[in-house]
Each structure stands twice: as structure tokens, then as C-alpha cells.
């Protein structure tokens, strides 16, 4: 007997938007606040304070009403001038965006192009830095979301500092996902977004600057208006924003930050590591290979076997037939990988659900997998790590 039912529960295992905690969802059912009211200022003061913990910084974390690319643009247009040389690390689609952004505003990027799935070789970076001592900054990702690769952020920050360059870190799928202590590592700019480990919908971006980065804003000459970090810093000091902010998202952010504080960053990072380890064990048990040389606690990128006819249909079958949304590859990786996310409001049984669905889908496509093998490998990890 074949069951055919219109009831298909949705599951979201993408690297952003990520699934929202129930208490964040209900936060959006609060009456909206006026942004020039004492109630908003009280809310904003608390959010500004609470978010520093997630960034592991004493600096002000500016909250902008845009998505991540807007904050990346803000860092370019507020810190540099046309003609400035910068070093960009292109390990995937988002590293490439640093290069495109730099060119769009007249900077001269020296790009380090890295094979997809590989991480940055710090010796290579040191060579490029030595050959370009006039560069103003190194622009990179802490985690390249398109390939699920972690980059050596602490080492990059040190190389930049030693060469008197700024380090600009896109941490959009890193902040709150794994350890990235901005102040301790001496990062000059850290950028993140709302719809990732911060567990709220897209529409806010976050950016924190070191004193050295703030100094650079004094000499920058690229025109900007909506993204004016000095104006935002001044407004934030009065618990306000330069322009009307996305109020409801900030209301949700307050609750999400409460949850992050309650869990504690250390526990959170351990949970993400465990979920990632279980996901890797699960896909390997199905005979699949990882794309990433240094796989991340945020996202696992898995190669689709070349022998698998119609392998590129995996994400659409998972979504349409079973209700589980994962991500495919982007640009040159389209049809070549799938990406399963495991950070934010994700628990053990979200991972077993994703793996169970992948087992069904692989068998549907003729890649025979023993049912329970992937899930079993993940459960093995959960049992051993014994976090709870």
C-alpha cells in the first residue's frame, strides 16, 4: 500500500535562513515599538550589550538594517579609498564577493584564488603579503559557506597585524557558530548576519571594528550615506540607529541573544562540533565524500558521486518528496555538492532527520544505501559524545 497524504512537515537544514526557535517566533507577535521611544532604546541598549558576548568583543557591535552583503560593503566604503590595494582570499563564492566589492568601489584587490574545498595555506598568504607590503588589508571569510571550509582566522589576523594591515573577517556563518574571539585574536573588522547562528530571520547585519579600523574611517574617502559607520556609532551611543531600524527583527534578536546566553558559548560550540561530527560520520557511512579539506562546525559540504545519475536532483527530491530543505552547490559547484547545515537552533534529531531523508533519496536515485547506516553512524557519535 502506498500512502499518499498532503501532510508534509517542513524541515530546514540550510546555512541561512536557519530555523527559528519557538520563543523567537512568538517574539514577533509582540506589538511593534516606535524606534524613537524609550521602550525601544531600552531594548536596543540591552541587545547592543548582549551581542558583544557573541562577538567576544568589548567594542560596540553596530546593528545595520540590511543583509550581510550590505555590511561587507559598509566595511569597504568606510575604511578605504579608491586606489587602495587590498588582499582578498577567494576560497569560494563569498570570498569572490570581497573581490567584486573591492573592484566596485575602485580598490585594487590582489586575489588569492583557492581551489574549491581547500582552505588558505598561510605560507601562501605570507608570500603574497611580503610581495604586497603596500596593501591596506586582508579580506577573508572565517568560514566559506559555499564550500563548508574553515579558514585559519587567528593566523590571518596575526599575519595582517605583523604587516600593519587590517584584517576584515566575514564571519556571517561563523559568529556564534564556532570560536572566534574578536578581541583576543586581534581582528579589526568582524561582520555577521541575523539569519545564521543568530537564529532570527534575514534583515539585520552586524559589524564590529577595532580601534585601528575606526582610525581608518577617518581617512577613507569613498562616498557613502546609508552605510555610515561613524554616524551609526554616534547613534548607537544614544541607544539609537542612524536610520529607521528593522524593529521587529531587533525584538526577535533580544530573545535569540537570551537563548544564546542561556546556553553559553562554550556549550553552543561543543554542540555544533558534535552535530557536525555526526553529520560527517553519517554521510561517510553512506559512502559519500566530503568536499572540505577543513570541514566546519556550521555546514557540511558533501560531494555528489559522479557515478550517480541525477545526483543533482538530491536537494529537490529531499524537499519536494520529503519536506526536508538542504542546500545544493552554488556557481561552479552547482550539481556537484550538497550542503547540510548544523548550527543555530538545530538538535540531534534534526540531523538524524536530514540523514534519514538523504538515505531515502539516495535509494530513490539508485545509490543503494543500507537503511539506518547513516543515521546509525550519527547516533553512535551522539552516544559517545554524551553531551546531555
Binding site for its own copies (CB under 8 A): 10, 12, 14, 16-17, 19-20, 25-26, 28-29, 31-38, 65-70, 73, 76, 100-101, 104-106, 193, 195, 201-203, 222-227, 243-249, 319-320, 325, 327
Cell representation of residue 171: 564571519
In the complex, the smallest distance separating the C-beta of residue 160 from its own copies, rounded to whole angstroms, is: 23
Q: How far is the CB of 285 from its own copies (least distance, A)?
A: 26
> Which is closer to its own copies, CB of 2 or CB of 225?
225
Contacts of residue 16, Cβ cutoff 8 Å, sequence gap at least 6:
145, 172, 173, 193, 195, 196, 202, 341
| Between 53 and 243, CB nearer to its own copies | 243
Which lies closer to its own copies via its Cβ, residue 55 or residue 227?
A: 227
* Minimum distance of its own copies from residue 26's CB (angstroms): 7
Rounded to whole angstroms, what are the CA distances from 33 to 41, 62, 255, 366? Answer: 10, 20, 15, 54
**Closer residue to its own copies (CB): 20 or 157:** 20
CB nearer to its own copies: give 249 or 283. 249
Tell me how far, at minimum, the Cβ of 280 lies from its own copies, in Å.
22
3-state DSSP percent of the chain in helix, strand and coil, to 5: 45, 15, 40
Q: Which of 188, 98, 184 is nearest to 141 (CA)?
A: 98
Q: Which of 287, 292, 283 is nearest to 381 (CA)?
A: 283
12 or 274, CB closer to its own copies? 12
Residue 68 CB, nearest approach to its own copies (Å): 7
Q: CB-wise, 16 or 95, nearer to its own copies?
A: 16
Cα separation values, 123 from 9, 112, 129, 316, Å:
48, 12, 10, 40
Return the SS3 of 19.
coil
Closest CA to 182 of 44, 54, 49: 54
Q: Which is nearer to its own copies, 357 or 379 (CB)?
A: 357
- Give the shortest CB-67-to-its own copies separation in angstroms: 4
Min dist. Cβ of residue 252 to its own copies (A): 9
CB of 99: closest distance to its own copies in angstroms?
12
**Is residue 141 within 8 Å of residue 119, measured between CB atoms?**
no
H helix runs in the chain, sequence order: 22-27, 38-55, 68-79, 93-104, 122-131, 153-162, 182-185, 211-217, 229-237, 247-263, 265-285, 314-322, 348-364, 373-385
Cβ-based neighbour number of residue 177 at 10 Å: 31
Amino acid at each position: 500500500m502506498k500512502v499518499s497524504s498532503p501532510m508534509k512537515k517542513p524541515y530546514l537544514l540550510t546555512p541561512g535562513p536557519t530555523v527559528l526557535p519557538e520563543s523567537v517566533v512568538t517574539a514577533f507577535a509582540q506589538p511593534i515599538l516606535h524606534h524613537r521611544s524609550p521602550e525601544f532604546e531600552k531594548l536596543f541598549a540591552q541587545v547592543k550589550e548582549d551581542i558583544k558576548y557573541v562577538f567576544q568583543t568589548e567594542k560596540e557591535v553596530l546593528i545595520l538594517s540590511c543583509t550581510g552583503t550590505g555590511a561587507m560593503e559598509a566595511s569597504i566604503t568606510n575604511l578605504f579609498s579608491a586606489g587602495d590595494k587590498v588582499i582578498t582570499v577567494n576560497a569560494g563564492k563569498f570570498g569572490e564577493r570581497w573581490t567584486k566589492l573591492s573592484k566596485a568601489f575602485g580598490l585594487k584587490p590582489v586575489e588569492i584564488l583557492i581551489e574549491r574545498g581547500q582552505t588558505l595555506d598561510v605560507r601562501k598568504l605570507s608570500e603574497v603579503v611580503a610581495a604586497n607590503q603596500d596593501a591596506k588589508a586582508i579580506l577573508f571569510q572565517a568560514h566559506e559557506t559555499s564550500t563548508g571550509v574553515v579558514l585559519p582566522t587567528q593566523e590571518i589576523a596575526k599575519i595582517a597585524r605583523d604587516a600593519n594591515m587590517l584584517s576584515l573577517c566575514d564571519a556571517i556563518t561563523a559568529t556564534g557558530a564556532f570560536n572566534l574571539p574578536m578581541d583576543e585574536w586581534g581582528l579589526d573588522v568582524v561582520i555577521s548576519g541575523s539569519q545564521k547562528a543568530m537564529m532570527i530571520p534575514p534583515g539585520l547585519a552586524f559589524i564590529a571594528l577595532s580601534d585601528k579600523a575606526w582610525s581608518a574611517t577617518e581617512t577613507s574617502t569613498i562616498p557613502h550615506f546609508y552605510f555610515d559607520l561613524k554616524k551609526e556609532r554616534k547613534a548607537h551611543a544614544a541607544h539609537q540607529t542612524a536610520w529607521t531600524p528593522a524593529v521587529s527583527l531587533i525584538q526577535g534578536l533580544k530573545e535569540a541573544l537570551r537563548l544564546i546566553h542561556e546556553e553559553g558559548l562554550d556549550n553552543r560550540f561543543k554542540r555544533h562540533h558534535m552535530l557536525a561530527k555526526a553529520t560527517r560520520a553519517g554521510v561517510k557511512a553512506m559512502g559519500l565524500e566530503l568536499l572540505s579539506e577543513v570541514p566546519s562546525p556550521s555546514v557540511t559540504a558533501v560531494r555528489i558521486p559522479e557515478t550517480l545519475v541525477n545526483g543533482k536532483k538530491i536537494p529537490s527530491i529531499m524537499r519536494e518528496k520529503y519536506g526536508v530543505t538542504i542546500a545544493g552547490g552554488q556557481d561552479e559547484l552547482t550539481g556537484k555538492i550538497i550542503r547540510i547545515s548544523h548550527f543555530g537552533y538545530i538538535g540531534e534529531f534534526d540531523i538524524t532527520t536530514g540523514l534519514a531523508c538523504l538515505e531515502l533519496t539516495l535509494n530513490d536515485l539508485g545509490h543503494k544505501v543500507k537503511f539506518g547506516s547513516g543515521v546509525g553512524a550519527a547516533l553512535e557519535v551522539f552516544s559517545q559524545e554524551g553531551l546531555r
